[in-house]
Amino acid sequence: MTAENLLIIAFDGLEATLVEKWNLTNLLQRIHGTYPVESEKYATPALWSAFITGLPPSSFEARFVERNVPEFLRRLAFVEAIKKLGRLVFKPRPFSVKGRYETIFEKVQPSLPYNVFSYNEEPIQFKLRLKYSIPETIGNRDKCLDACREWMTLTTELTDKFVNLLKGGDWRIAMTHFYFTDIIGHLHPPMMKKAYLEADSIAQLLRSSVDSETMVLIVSDHGMRRGVHTEYGFYSSNLVLDSKPTDITDFCSLILEWIG
């Protein structure tokens, strides 16, 4: 099986069993499955780095957000004022493999990566991640609810921008990443069904924005049950696959195979 173009829709922390339970057909597509992942060992940036490079997650550094802040300030990070000062002075930025490793976007041209975690995350999303960091937000119900609302609003904005890019750009491979499915799973699990219904609607919208011959791959880096990561990721395709992933590092080579 080969396709001329490939659209990758990445939903962070999307749980396969819930997609199946709620019969979210736009996410399930024609075929779907899971693959094992060491989600307790590796953080999200390392997993998505492995996805787009084909290198093992262990290849990537352990600290991903505030790596520019000196260690002595990290040790004092329990004081909120010091954390804010460190962010202001040292200007944290999201971890990125862009320019440091060869990815699917360099191997396949022309490419359209938009808001791809560990590659070119949008500044507005990174700011929201800092504003509502999971360790600082969990336990504060009002803050959790505010965070979920802001993430849903941002998701709509990012989706609209990506749709316009898809329709107006020249690309063989396009990819975007959505973080709200993971964030809401951590901060307010009762809202997960609403988030998954939104993810299903996004998948329908993006699939309708490309022609019927374009391969659409929907993928997650791990799952999420009761606020805890599960040890498998989800994938689905609108086309039958000759080869299927058995590890997150498989996707890079498989993508080159799928689009010939």
Q: Which two tokens stand for residue 209?
A: 């924005």
What's the pLDDT band for 89 if we cut at 50, 70, 90?
low
Residues 6+ apart with CB under 8 A from 222: 13, 37, 39, 47, 229, 230, 231, 232, 233
Percent of the chain with pLDDT over 90: 82
Q: Give which of 206, 239, 193, 185 is closest to 12, Cα–Cα.
A: 185
Which pTM value belongs to this model?
0.89
- CA-to-CA distance for 31 and 20, rounded, in angstroms? 12
Residue spans of alpha helices (H) in 169-249: 180-187, 192-208
AA letter at 105: F
What pLDDT does residue 236 have? Answer: 98
Q: What is the pLDDT of residue 2?
A: 85
- 3-state DSSP call for residue 52? helix
- Rounded to an integer, what is the distance from CA 23 to the centroid of its chain? 21
Average pLDDT over residues 73-82: 51
Confidence of residue 1 (pLDDT cuts 50, 70, 90): confident
Confidence band, pLDDT 50/70/90 cuts, at residue 62? low
CB 244 within 8 Å of CB 33: yes
Mean confidence (pLDDT) of the chain: 91
